[in-house]
Amino acid sequence: MWSSLRRDGLALVSLSLVVASVLVAILAPVLAPYPEQGKGQPNLSERLQAPSYLHPLGTDDVGRDLLSRLLFGARPSLATGFMVVALALLIGLPLGAIAGFLGGWIDELIMRLTDVFMSFPALLLAVAISMALGPSLRNAMLAIALTWWPLYARLARAQAVSVKQETFIEASRAIGMSEGRILLEHVLPHIATPVLIQATADVGAAILMGAALSFIGLGVQPPDPDWGNMLAVARVYFREAAWFALFPGLAILLVAAAFNLVGDAARDSLDPRSRSR
């Protein structure tokens, strides 16, 4: 996989971007020129300044350095991306594996459950759950994860169903292995790969949804920085301060695109059945 990845220039760039964004999120306090403003401290004397030497990306509506805000804003965005996928995997993978492996009424029940959850438009369901639980970053992540798990459950189930037929499973049964152990030691590893490939590509989409929820006001609450809620405020000022609206959105676009491209590259090189090459 690494050799084909090295040949693909775009995939390399995206991978570097992904790594860079993770580093930025972690190192924000060190990288940001004005870390206090990044975290939320207002600076009213320098409201809405255009990009300058002192403030490379300008300032926001309460005078905070936009670059610092953006750097700190990487944290909730990336956290949402990873947490949502992790939670969804935590819920969906076992359910799907059990459904596919055990079959019967458990399979039916779990599949109908995924049908129901997949019928909801993800954003609307996330909005409803967020509202019910109360607006916060943590609840937003939970809400989005609850809309995402059916996808992984389905994938895991499909994999489990095909693995079930393999002879080594039959052999394990013949030597007296319990169903539970078979599930854990043999089925799960085989299921993991395709699901994880899908998960990598999904981080980008999860970041977008997190940003959307924050934009509406249901995710990260101000003054905590988040690319989504920055855009919500920037919208009001876009006539006088176009830069304020430009940069957070650009950040979301670049990071989401980078994750999507990396996910695509992973899918192309690891999944022999994919024919997009």
Partner 1 sequence: MGRARYILRRSLLSVVVLVGVSAVTFALARVVPSDPARKWVGPRARPEQVERARIELGLDRPLYEQYVGYLGQVLRGDLGTSVRSHRPILEDLRRYLPATLELVLASMAISTLVGIPLGVVAAVRQGSAFDRSCRLFAVLNISIPVFWLALILQLVFSQSLGWLPLGGRISRGVSLFAPIQPVTGLYLVDASWTGNWRALWDALAHLILPALALSSYGIGMSLRMTRANMLEVLGQKYILAARAAGLNPWTIHFRLALKNAIVPSLVLLGLMFVWQMTGAVLVEILFFWPGLGTYLMDAILNIDFPAIVSVTLVVTVMYVLVSLALDLVQTMIDPRVTLD
**DSSP per-residue string spanning 174-241:** HTT--HHHHIIIIIHHHHHHHHHHHHHHHHHHHHHHHHHHHHHTSSSPTTS--HHHHHHHHHHTTTT-
Residue type, 124: L
Q: Is the Cβ–Cβ distance between 70 and 243 less than 8 Å?
A: no
How far, in Å, CA of 101 to CA of 183, rounded?
Answer: 8
Q: Does 217 bind partner 1 (CB under 8 A)?
A: yes
Q: Does 219 bind partner 1 (CB under 8 A)?
A: no
Selected binder of partner 1 within 172, 248, 266, 269 (CB under 8 A): 248
Selected binder of partner 1 within 31, 91, 102, 125 (CB under 8 A): 125
- CB 112 to partner 1: min, Å: 6
Q: Does 275 bind partner 1 (CB under 8 A)?
A: yes
Nearer to partner 1, 13 or 54 (CB): 13
**What sign for the dihedral angle of Cα 73, 77, 82, 84?**
positive
Selected binder of partner 1 within 62, 102, 127, 196 (CB under 8 A): 127
Q: Does 260 bind partner 1 (CB under 8 A)?
A: yes
Q: Does 109 bind partner 1 (CB under 8 A)?
A: no
How far, in Å, CA of 17 to CA of 171, rounded?
Answer: 46
Q: Does 235 bind partner 1 (CB under 8 A)?
A: yes
Q: Does 240 bind partner 1 (CB under 8 A)?
A: no
Selected binder of partner 1 within 66, 93, 203, 252 (CB under 8 A): 252
Q: Does 91 bind partner 1 (CB under 8 A)?
A: no
Selected binder of partner 1 within 79, 208, 241, 266 (CB under 8 A): 208
Tokens of 37: 């403003």
**Applying CB under 8 A, what is the total number of residues that bind partner 1?**
50
Neighbours of 13 (CB within 10 A): 13
How far, in Å, CA of 229 to CA of 73, rounded?
Answer: 9
Question: Between 133 and 172, how does the x/- string for binding to partner 1 read (CB under 8 A)?
Answer: x---------------------------------------
Residue with token string 């101000």? 222
- Angle subtended by helix axes 66-102 and 137-164, to nearest 10: 30
Quick one: which segment of 32-40, 80-88, 184-192, 215-223 binds partner 1 (CB under 8 A)? 215-223
- CB 263 to partner 1: min, Å: 10
Binders of partner 1 among residues 44 to 73 (CB under 8 A) are: none
Q: Which parts of this chain interact with partner 1 (CB under 8 A)? A: 10, 111-113, 115-117, 119-125, 127-129, 131-133, 204-205, 208, 211-212, 215-218, 228, 231, 234-235, 238-239, 242, 245-246, 248-250, 252-253, 256-257, 260-261, 264, 275-276
